[in-house]
Amino acid sequence: MDDRHYAAFKNFVSVENLQPDEVQALIDRAEYFKRGGAVPKLTSPVYVANLFFENSTRTHNSFGMAERKLGLTELPVDTAHSSMSKGETLYDTLLMLNAIGVNLAVMRHSDNAYYEPLIHTKPYQHLDMGIVNAGDGSGQHPSQCLLDMMTVHEHFGHFKGLKVAIVGDINYSRVAKSNMEMFNKLGAEVYFSGPEYWYDHKFDKYGKFLPIDELVDKVDVLNLLRVQHERHAGDPNEAGFSEESYFKKYGINHDRYNRMKDNAVIIHPGPINHNVELAGDLVESPKSLYVTQVVNGVFMRMAMLESVLRGRHLGGLE
Ligand code: CP
């Protein structure tokens, strides 16, 4: 063990309890991996299952790549054909995978806080597995949040005083929940924008809601959010939704893009709805860090997984 400060956690399910120094340690570690720094050598095998009960391109494959780079062994689990289709509970499924030898589960699930019964086990429950949350319903998205923080830190070198606008489908977005709290905690000035019907005043404690045209020329970071139709069942605003109208009222078109500050950036968790949240031909524009976010995601997920290996003393890491 060298004298560097490493983050160490038993599970990684939320950013709620992360302290700024822990976030900085994770960013430093991810930046180290990005520079080509050596990965720690595992002295015993560690087995990981990636359980994605919701679709994913970025998060699933990025965790897969991070696991390979760290030398973890993935046990492929086909969630669509597991015995959960016969009624087996999530807890029992994990208990069985744990008994088979899986040490870590990276999981995405549509239920908010699905991880609570898995990390707070009761008497007679023996689940001994690290849980890494890859997104829960409209709850939390810790790895997206931390790769966003890394990307903003890489561009600006700091967070204090940065003006950040979180724009769009805020109520339904787990990215928004994690990012509003984290940007606020790290000293950024948070603003919100988009349709008022997808904003809840309970978020006022983190920042101020303003029309997009009052924000585009003032903020340093535009954190756009995907419109999440899959979570709108029963939402009275879904029926009247039109892509054209959303783009016109809230989207980043060329006019709004040209009004942004010279050094300002756009981040978006993806997938992007072209010509809804952002003009299609601006996705890879100079101010858009969309691809950089995904590049950084692999290194941040390595740092997160390593912190759980250390927290659980897996692979001989401490
Ligand atoms: N940002 C994000 O979670 O993307 P995926 O759904 O593709 O993983």
40 CA distance to ligand 1 middle (Å): 27
Q: What is the pLDDT of residues 244-278, one digit of tens each?
A: 999 999 999 999 999 999 999 999 999 999 999 99
According to CATH, the topology of domain 3-137+296-312 is Rossmann fold (3.40.50)
pLDDT of 213 > 80? The answer is yes
**3-137+296-312 against 142-294: fold identical:** yes
Q: Report pLDDT for 6.
A: 80
3 CA distance to ligand 1 middle (Å): 35
pLDDT of 151 > 50? The answer is yes
pLDDT of 302 > 90? The answer is yes
Index of the ligand 1 atom closest to the CA of residue 54:
6
Mean pLDDT score of the chain, rounded to an integer? 96
State whether the beta carbon of 130 lies less than 6 angstroms from ligand 1. no
131 pLDDT tier (thresholds 50, 70, 90): very high
Would you kindly state where each structural domain of the chain is located, as residue ranges?
A: 3-137+296-312, 142-294
pLDDT of 4 > 70? The answer is no
More confident: 2 or 213: 213
State whether the beta carbon of 270 lies less than 6 angstroms from ligand 1. yes
Among 11, 6, 35, 43, residue whose Cα is nearest residue 21:
6
Q: What is the 3-state secondary structure (H, E, C) of the chain?
A: CCCCCCCCCCCECCCCCCCHHHHHHHHHHHHHHHCCCCCCCCCCCCEEEEEECCCCCHHHHHHHHHHHHHCCEECCCCHHHCHHHHCCCHHHHHHHHHHHCCCEEEEEECCCCCCHHHHCCCCCCCCCCEEEEEEECCCECHHHHHHHHHHHHHHHCCCCCCEEEEECCCCCCHHHHHHHHHHHHCCCEEEEECCHHHCCHHHHHCEEECCHHHCCCCCCEEEECCCCHHHCCCCCCCCCCCHHHHHHHHCECHHHHHHCCCCCEEECCCCCCECCCECHHHCCCCCECHHHHHHHHHHHHHHHHHHHHHHCCHHHCC
State whether the beta carbon of 58 lies less than 6 angstroms from ligand 1. yes
Q: Report pLDDT for 1.
A: 42
318 pLDDT tier (thresholds 50, 70, 90): confident
Q: What is the pLDDT of residues 288-299, one digit of tens each?
A: 999 999 999 999
State whether the beta carbon of 174 lies less than 6 angstroms from ligand 1. no
Q: Among 53, 144, 230, 290, say which to mutate for ligand 1: greatest number of ligand atoms within 8 Å of CB.
A: 144
More confident: 3 or 51: 51
135 CA distance to ligand 1 middle (Å): 9
State whether the beta carbon of 59 lies less than 6 angstroms from ligand 1. yes
Close Cβ partners of 147 (under 8 Å, ≥ 6 residues apart): 30, 293, 296, 297, 300, 301
pLDDT of 15 > 60? The answer is yes
Q: Report pLDDT for 254.
A: 98
Index of the ligand 1 atom closest to the CA of residue 135:
3
Q: Report pLDDT for 203.
A: 98
Q: Report pLDDT for 7.
A: 85
| Block residue for tokens 């990276």 | 106
Share of the chain above pLDDT 70, in %: 98
State whether the beta carbon of 108 lies less than 6 angstroms from ligand 1. no
- Checking 231-239 for CB contacts under 8 A at 24+ apart, the result is 231/137, 231/138, 231/172, 232/172, 237/195, 237/197, 237/198
44 CA distance to ligand 1 middle (Å): 31
pLDDT of 282 > 50? The answer is yes
106 CA distance to ligand 1 middle (Å): 14
According to CATH, the topology of domain 142-294 is Rossmann fold (3.40.50)
1 CA distance to ligand 1 middle (Å): 34
Q: What is the pLDDT of residues 218-249, one digit of tens each?
A: 999 999 999 999 999 999 999 989 999 999 99
Query: Average pLDDT in the 70-81 region?
Result: 96
Residue with CA nearest ligand 1 atom 4: 58
Residue with CA nearest ligand 1 atom 6: 56
Q: Report pLDDT for 3.
A: 54
281 CA distance to ligand 1 middle (Å): 21
State whether the beta carbon of 237 lies less than 6 angstroms from ligand 1. no
